[in-house]
Chains A and B, each alone.
Chain A
Amino acid sequence: MSLLSLNNLSVTRSARAVLSDVSLTIAPGECVGLIGPNGAGKTSLLRAALGLLPFTGTSDLATLSPAMRGRAAAWMPQSREIAWSVTVETLIALGRIPHLPRGTALRAADQAAIDAAISRMGLSDLRHRTATHLSGGEQARVLIARALAQDTPLLLADEPIAGLDPASQIATMQVFANLAGEGHAALVSLHDLGLAARHCTRLLMLHAGRLVADGPPADVLTQANMAEVFGISAYYRDTDQGPVFQPIEVLG
């Protein structure tokens, strides 16, 4: 059983191929990091997989009805939009919309999912604060909690840890890894290759719209791939505290 299956997914925008023939499947238990330089097609891959972008090829998520898709996958876009000054809890509760029959109030199960999301993201103290008054990093954590409250088998997140402090970055990646450990799956784009190496069970590397590497972090974060795709040299060691990855310098 897979939670996401893409076959020859291609996206063309303004006559330019931004994603070319990407095929992959994601199974329960996987915490997948999506890496690649700016413009490699990470966001396009995630959005096309959800059916939010026109594409060719197939994505099993995109064939679901909108209501079914809302229960199959949660999506946290890169733009962290909070339009109105609602409380943190009200905002997180929006994640229950796909599960609520029209016109019904939150039920016990919904409240439980909201509480679980709040506690996973360590937001108990902020629960009654106004979301738009929080710092950017706090807002990002609230929006991740919103996606967690959707309680879907699969979570797609576009650069969820960008702009977070180190402790929040580690804690958030641990949340994704824990979700995977509980039989869910996460597909997360990120630029912090060190955190990707430590917390992801599998990395997908995009380069100019093509999937150029797919496998365990140690097999993807190789010197050759770093030079070819990112144009950098890097340090990678397996230590007794887990893998350590550090970009070193830009290659000439």
Chain B
Amino acid sequence: MRLAAGLIALVLALFAGSLVSGYASATAGDSLLALIRDDGTPLSVVMRDIRLPRALLAVMIGASLGLSGAALQGYLRNPLAEPGLIGISGAAALGAVLAIQSGLVLQFAFALPLAALGMAVLAVLAILLLAGPRGASITLILAGIAISALAGALTSLVLNLSPNPFAAADIVFWMMGSLADRSFSHVWLALPFMAVGWVMLASLGRGLDALTLGEDAAEAMGLRTARLRLLLILGTAACVGAATAVAGAIGFVGLVVPHLLRGAVGARPSALLWASALGGAAMVLAADIAVRELFPARDLKLGVVMALVGAPLFLHLIYKTRKELA
């Protein structure tokens, strides 16, 4: 309970911090007042149409990545699992890259997230075909690796053959992941998918707890592992597909956050689900604040900061737990 209250307070504080962070110079108080007032002043427009959706997306994406990371680690019983593992983010990135390269984004602003979502759906179908009801957890990992590799290869191919250096640069920057210049349209596009994903993943807690004892024992306790795997794949795909579609590839959240919080929830996979959702939201909010405060003049990418923070954090965790892992 104390952990829940602490995490919620942290998310709220960082959410407020995200709202008052940015290039438009105004005091924190003025900014928050402008957000509430909606008086048509430039500051009010900035707050309502730029900063609010940006902060909301940070929460949604962080929660989605943290939740799906915790669920995947619970299902695979492996602390190294992360949402990118099942290949959805790679496929979504490929869709986005195709939209940029083909010039579709210039004709239609939502071509990019829609193409990304489309490719994510294709990847889900491929995963279900390979590791569906009759698959085992190892099949899911292998199918995910294969789809990631294929999506990565096709993305490289597009970059390689790109006749337009500007499109190539756009692609590279987009793939670094960012929440800059996102609007409420992005929120409304991602929210339905994420909401469905959250409901699916949140329902898995009891099954993931049972899986602590292995698949055999869990099944004998009444767990339907095939159903759990289906919900896990669809839920993760909805969350990660939507997150990648609106913000590009943001790594490490789904890997590091469940790691950080596992001890605090007594290692129970069900408790780790909601804790990781809150923790993920806090981590993405914090990184997105850092992006704007560290180098305000440069367009620092969220994915870059996340990896720069996440990788050392992960090294530290490995250092701390290496005795247990041995």
Contacts and interface: CB of A to CB of B under 8 A. Distances in A.
B224 interface: yes
Contact of A98 (B211, B221, B263): B221
Contacts of A95: 221
Contact of B212 (A67, A77, A79, A86): A86
A85 B142 CA distance: 26
Interface string A116-156: 00000000000000001000000000010010001000000
Interface string A90-131: 110011011010100000000000000000000000000000
Given A52-B216, A79-B216, A84 B268 contact: yes
Interface stretch (A5-13, A68-76, A179-187, A237-245): A68-76
Contact of B206 (A47, A85, A102): A102
A50 interface: yes
Given A86-B267, A86-B268, A102-B206, A74 B212 contact: no
Interface centre among B214, B223, B263, B267 (most CB of A within 10 A): B267
A249 interface: no
Given A84-B269, A85-B324, A86-B267, A67 B213 contact: no
A70 B221 contact: yes
Contact of A94 (B213, B262, B263, B266): B213
A98 B210 CA distance: 10
- Chain A: interface size category: 35 or more
Interface centre among B77, B209, B217 (most CB of A within 10 A): B217
Interface in A58-88: 65-71, 73-77, 79, 81-87
A50 B269 CA distance: 26
A82 B213 contact: yes
Contacts of A100: 206
A68 to B, nearest CB: 8
Contact of B268 (A71, A90, A150): A90
Interface in B208-242: 209-214, 216-217, 219-224
A234 B128 CA distance: 54
B198 to A, nearest CB: 16
A85 B217 contact: no
Contact of A84 (B206, B212, B224): B212
Interface centre among B77, B206, B222, B269 (most CB of A within 10 A): B222
A202 to B, nearest CB: 23
A91 B214 contact: no
- Chain B: interface size category: 20 to 34
Contacts of B222: 65-71, 97-98
Nearest to A85: B267
Contact of A47 (B77, B210, B213, B216): B216
Given A79-B214, A79-B216, A143-B213, A97 B221 contact: yes
Contact of A74 (B214, B220, B224, B268): B220
B266 to A, nearest CB: 6
Contacts of B224: 66
A98 B214 CA distance: 16
A97 B210 contact: yes
Contacts of B220: 50, 52, 69-70, 73-75, 77
A205 B268 CA distance: 40
A77 B218 CA distance: 10
Contacts of A86: 212, 266-268
Contacts of A74: 220
Nearest to B223: A66
B109 to A, nearest CB: 42
Interface string B266-280: 111100000000000
A77 B268 CA distance: 21
A81 B214 contact: yes
A97 B266 contact: no
Interface of B: 77, 206, 209-214, 216-217, 219-224, 262-263, 266-269, 324
18 contacts: A47-B216, A66-B219, A67-B222, A71-B222, A73-B220, A75-B216, A75-B220, A81-B217, A83-B213, A84-B267, A87-B266, A90-B266, A90-B268, A94-B209, A94-B213, A97-B210, A102-B206, A150-B221
Interface of A: 47, 50, 52, 65-71, 73-77, 79, 81-87, 90-91, 94-95, 97-98, 100, 102, 132, 143, 146, 150
State the 3 A-B residue pairs at the shortest beta-carbon distance, nearest first.
A70-B222, A81-B214, A75-B220
